[in-house]
Amino acid sequence: MDRKITIAIDGHSSTGKSTAAKQLAQELQYIYVDTGAMYRAVSYFALSENLVHNERLDSQKLIDRLDDITITFKRNEETDRADVYLNGQNIEQQIRTLEVSNIVSHIAIISEVRAKLVAQQQAMGRDKGVVMDGRDIGTVVFPDAALKVFMTATPEVRAQRRYVELKQRGDEVTLDEVLHNVLERDRIDSTREDSPLIQADDAKLLDTSTMTREEQFELLLEWAKEAME
């Protein structure tokens, strides 16, 4: 019988991490944890509590309010996926806006925020049988994960994917705005002092620039089965 393992999927924004990780978790009947959604939830909290003014975040006020933030995941019966809840309120739709995207990397550089969320993530994956995606899962959260994957794609491809998603939601955005957001998030994520976005030495590289979602999933499933043997 295949052993239960921890699967860590890291990478840049809009590479298909969450979609692939959800599919993989469903196929393996594992728990799926979208850590990016947790940082988005903190970002939404900051915006809702007026801790952001003229795109500038009051970091200290946010740090002082961290104990007021409780993030949970609950299964959505209609979509069969886990929605994000902030203090008991479903905010799955609210955290997917460009406004949240523009501030989430600034939230993620705050060490106190990272410490709080990493502790929660480690608790979620303590019993293994988990697929977790984010920016530092294989390097910080689960450095001993049996399978580590680093997903990437060209900025232009990622921006186009994100642009289509936002337009389908009805958001009024331009492709240039989305590309700027993608490049800025890459810069902040890769250069922050605390847990920067880097590929773990033992992570498998998955470039999704020219791959379909089906091809991504099949390759991930193959790697997972190999790691479970």
Domain residues for 100? 6-228
Q: What is the mean pLDDT of the chain?
A: 93
Is residue 187 in some structural domain? yes
User: Is the residue at 210 inside a domain?
Assistant: yes
Report if residue 1 sits inside a domain. no
Average pLDDT over residues 111-133: 93
Instruction: Please tell me the total count of domains within the chain.
Output: 1
**Per-residue confidence at 221, pLDDT binned at 50, 70, 90?**
very high
Identify whether 40 is part of a domain: yes
What is the token pair recorded at 30?
């594992």
Segment 41-68 mean pLDDT: 95
pTM of the predicted protein model: 0.85
Is the confidence at residue 1, as pLDDT, over 70? no
In this prediction, residues 169-175 reach a mean pLDDT of 92
Q: How far apart are CA 221 and CA 16, in angstroms?
A: 15
Residue 86 lies in a domain: yes
Segment 169-187 shows an average pLDDT of 94
Q: How confident is the model at residue 197 (pLDDT cuts 50, 70, 90)?
A: very high
Give me the CATH number covering residue 154: 3.40.50.300
Query: Span 105-125, mean pLDDT?
Result: 93
- The CA-based angle 77-218-151, given to 5 degrees, is 90
Which string of b and e fits 10-46 if b means at least 16 CB within 10 Å? Answer: bbbbbbbbbebbbbbbeebebbbbbbbbbbbbbbbbb
Instruction: Tell me whether residue 14 is in a domain.
Output: yes
- pLDDT band, residue 154 (cuts 50/70/90): very high
